[in-house]
Structure 1
Amino acid sequence: MSLINKMLQDLDARGTPDGRGDAAGIRSVPERERGVSRALVFGGAAGLTAAAIALGWVYLKRPAVPPVLVSVAGTPVPVSAPAPAVVVSAPAPAPVPAVAAEPEPVFQAEEATPAPAKLRAADMRRITQQAAKPAAAPVVKTAASAVSERIIDGKQVTPQQRVENEYRRALAQLQDGRVSDAMLALQQTLQLDPRHQGARETLVRLLLEAQRPDEAARQLQLSLALDPKQPAQAMMLARLQLDKANGGAAALDTLMRSLPYAADNGEYHAFLAGVLQREQRYREAAEHYQLALQAAPDNSVWWMGLGIALQADNHPAQARQAFERAKGLQTLSPQLQAFVERKLVQLTAAAAK
C-alpha cells in the first residue's frame, strides 16, 4: 500500500512545476476528460494491488522443509557455510548418509533450530522419557516369570516331594469325605516312605474308626519295627493287643521294647504298671506306679493302683497309706471311691487281728 500512496502523491505533485497545487490555475475539465483520467488512475492502482497480493501469496505458500529441520535436529548434516549451531550429533539414531543442503534451507534451519545447549537438553529429556516408560518393565517381568515357571515345571520331582504330594492328596480326599480313597493314598504314601509318621498315624486312626483293629495293629507293628522310639504308638498297639485273649504277654513285650524312650513319661509308666499288675508281676508294677507318681503326685487313680500292687505284694501298711492318699484327693469317681473305702476297711481289719 505504501507504493500506491507514493504513486498518488506523484500524480498529485504533477499539477505544478514546483510540486504544489495552484488553486488559481484550476479550470473546469469536461466531464468526459475527467472521467477518463480517474479510470486510468484507479485501474493502475488496482493492478499494482493485485500484483502485490500475488507476490505475497507466492511468498507465503512456499513449500516447507520439515525433512531438513528433522535432519538437522536428529542427525549430523555437514554444510558448506560455517554454521556450528546447525550440526548436532544425536547419540541414539543410526548414522544417515550426509546430504549437502542448499543455502536457503540451511538459512531457515538456522532460524528455526535452537541453541546447541537447549537442543541437547531437549534430546536428553526425550531419551530419558522413552527409557522410563512403565509399559516395558511389566512385559519383561512377565516373560521372565513365564520362563521361570516353565523351568520349575520342567524339574524332576524328588522322591520326598512325591511323598508329600501323595500325603497332601490323601488329606484333601479325607477332607472331602472320601475315606476309602484317602486310605489308599495313605497306603501309597507309606509305600514311598514307610517312616512317614503322619501318614501312619492317620491311617491307623481311620482303620480303628472303620472297626478294622487287626489292620491297625499291623500298621503299628510295622512302624515300631522301623522305629521303636515312639511311646505313643507302643501304648496304642499294647491296648489293641490286650483286647485279645492272652494278649497280655504281647502287650508287655511291646511296652518293654519302647520303655527306654519313655523314661520321663508318667502315662507310659502307669500304663506299663497296669499291664504288669494284670500279669501278676506286682513288685514291678508298684515300682512303675511310683515312677509315674513322681511326675504327677496328685493322680488319685495311680495312688489307688499303687495300693493294689502293694497289697498284692504283701505290703499292707504301705498299701493302706496309698489308699488313704487316693481317698484324700477326692478326685475319684464314686465307684472307685467306694472301692478304695472297702480296701481301707479290709486293711484296717487285717491289722487289728
Structure 2
Amino acid sequence: MSLLNDALRAAEQRQNRPAPPGAYAGGQHQPRNGRPLLLSVLVVALFIAAVGGYWVFAKSFSTEPMVLESQPSPDQTVQRDIAIVVDEQPVSAPVDVLPPAPQPEVVESAPQPRQTVPPKPEVAEAEARKPEPAVASSSSVDEAAAEQEAKSSEVEETQPQETSTAGVKQVPQTPAAKDRSSARELERLVARGNITDAERGLAALTQEQMAPRSRYVVARALLVEGKQDQALGWLPEDVATEHPKLRLLRARAQHANGDLAAAVDTLSATVPPVEGHSEYRVTLATLLQQQGMNGEAARHWAELIAWDDSQGPWWVGLAISLEAQGEQVGAARAYQQAAKLPGLPRSLADYVQRRLQALRAG
C-alpha cells in the first residue's frame, strides 16, 4: 500500500505542476542502461492500475457522478467523457418511455369533466364578482355596530342606577359621622375668618342633632375673639354636661365674664380622669386656688404629678397650694423639684427662686 500511496501522490503532483509538454521528453536521454527504463515502465503500470482501481471503486459505491464534478486532470479527461456517456444512458432511456404529457392522466383520474374547469375569462368574471362577499361583511359589521350600540345603551341605562345606589349609600349617614364632616367644614370657614357663615352652618346642623364637635369648633373660635356671650349661646348647660370639652369651654367663658363660682361649679359637676383630660384638671385646680380652695387644688395637682412628674408648672401649682395651707417643708420641696425641671417659663422660674429664698429665710 505504501507504494500505491507514493504513486498517487506523485501523480497528483504532476497534475498540479504547470510544466510544458516537451519538458519531460528532454529528460529521457539517459545512458544506455535498461534498468531506468524498466523502472519507468513499472511506475507507469502502477499508476494506471491505481487510477483504474480508484475509478472502479468510486463507481461501485456511488449512484451519482459526484466525483466527476471535481476539476479533472488532463490524464482523466478521457475517463470523464466515458463516465458521462455511461451515466447519461440509463437516464435518457426512461425519459423516452414516459408519456409526452401528464395532463391526460390527471383529467382521467379527476371525478369531474373537463368542462367544470372555468376558462380564464370566467375566472376574471368571478374575480370581478368578489365584492359581493364584501357587502355581506358590511352587513355583518352593521349588525355588530348595532349590537355595540345596544350594549352601550344598556350601560348608559345602568349608569344612573349605579349613581342612584351610591347616593342611597350616602343617605344613611350616622349623626356622629355627619358631625365630624360638618366640623371639618366649619374649621375651614373659621380658618378663612367666616365665623358668621360657620354659625349659620352650625345653626342648621343643631336643628337635627346635638353636634358636639361642631359646637366645640365654633365656640372656641368665638372665645378666641373675646365673644364669650356668643360662645355661651352654643354651650348650654344640658349639652355641656355630657361632654367634658364643652364643659371646659363653658367654664372658661364664665370665668372670662367674671363668674368664678359658676366656672368652678361647671367643672366640678363631673370630673373626668386625668388621662386624656389633663387640661381640664389643670384648669379646675387653678380655679380652685383662685377661689381659695387650696386643699382641693392640691389634690388635683397631686393626681396630675402622679400621672406625669415631668411638668414643672404642675410642681409650682402644688407648691403654691401647700404653702397656702402652711406646709412650708412640702412647699419648699415642690419648688426645688420645679426648679430642676427644664422648660419652666422665665417669669415662673423667677417666682420659684424668690419663694425658695423666702422659705429658707424662714
Scaled by the length of structure 1, what TM-score is found? 0.54
**Structure 2 match to 1:143:** 157
Cα 1:153/1:306, change in 2 over 3 Å = closer
Residue 212 of structure 2 contacts residue 246 of structure 2 at CA under 8 Å; is this kept in 1? no
The number of equivalent residue pairs is 230
Tell whether 2:254 aligns with 1:238: no
Cα 1:253/1:303, change in 2 over 3 Å = same
**Structure 2 match to 1:262:** 273
Question: RMSD of aligned C-alpha atoms?
Answer: 4.2
Distance 2:288 2:178 in 1: 40
Residue 240 of structure 2 contacts residue 246 of structure 2 at CA under 8 Å; is this kept in 1? no
**Structure 2 match to 1:277:** 289
Residue 169 of structure 1 contacts residue 185 of structure 1 at CA under 8 Å; is this kept in 2? no
Residue 262 of structure 1 contacts residue 268 of structure 1 at CA under 8 Å; is this kept in 2? no
Q: How does 1:63-74 map to 2 (within 5 A)?
A: none
What are the Cα deviations for residues 244-288 of structure 1, in whole angstroms up to 9, with x where unaligned? 33x2211111111230x3343333222211111111111111111
Distance 1:185 1:328 in 2: 49
Cα 1:142/1:300, change in 2 over 3 Å = same
What are the Cα deviations for residues 125-166 of structure 1, in whole angstroms up to 9, with x where unaligned? x89x95995443332111112245467779996796896797
AA in 1 matched with 2:216: E
| Identical amino acids, percent of aligned pairs | 26
Distance 1:138 1:232 in 2: 55
**Structure 2 match to 1:228:** 241
Which has the higher mean CA deviation after the structures are superposed, 130-139 or 197-206?
Answer: 130-139
Compute the displacement of 1:211 (Å): 3.6
Secondary structure in 1 matching 2:270: helix
Unaligned stretches of 5+ residues in structure 1: 1-58, 60-125
**Structure 1 match to 2:89:** none
Q: 2:333 aligns with which of 318, 321, 324?
A: 321
Scaled by the length of structure 2, what TM-score is found? 0.52
Cα 1:334/1:184, change in 2 over 3 Å = same
Tell whether 2:227 aligns with 1:212: yes
Residue 269 of structure 1 contacts residue 291 of structure 1 at CA under 8 Å; is this kept in 2? no
Distance 1:324 1:250 in 2: 34
Unaligned stretches of 5+ residues in structure 2: 1-121, 123-139
Residue 304 of structure 1 contacts residue 340 of structure 1 at CA under 8 Å; is this kept in 2? yes
